[in-house]
Amino acid sequence: MLEKKRLEIAALLVRDPGHCLAQLAREQQVSGSLVQSARKMVGHEPVSIKRLKKREEIKALLRHALKKGMTRSDVSGVFPNSRKIISDVAREMGISLGPSGPLIKRLRPSGDDLI
């Protein structure tokens, strides 16, 4: 019975990889551990890991943008719908983003994160 439910949940995760695991457990009325084991079956990454990878990709792009003199819209074009994350990562790195067009500038004169 549990194996059948695990396979059903795995099928749901294949169809919708972005589904919230906690919400799926509530909807299916099963334990979180059953949903986690179904997630592992299909190789579904937790949202937190996806978010962390995206932040690292944005950080690398911001380093590149500093060197190339790219604008905020250039960076946002690579990661659409991620303006808040881009702003947060830039702030952590000490980079000032102009509202719409100015080049990306350093807030600090030097730093290991910038180069």
Three-class secondary structure of residue 96 per DSSP? strand
Around 81, how many Cα atoms within 13 Å sit in the side-chain half-sphere? 0
Give residue limits of the domains in the chain: 2-44, 50-114
pLDDT in tens, 42-66: 876 666 667 788 889 999 998 888 8
pLDDT of residue 115: 46
pLDDT in tens, 1-58: 888 999 999 888 888 877 778 888 899 999 988 988 888 888 766 666 677 888 899 9
pLDDT of residue 29: 92
- Positive or negative, the CA dihedral 49, 54, 56, 57 is positive
Note the pTM of the prediction, 2 decimals: 0.52
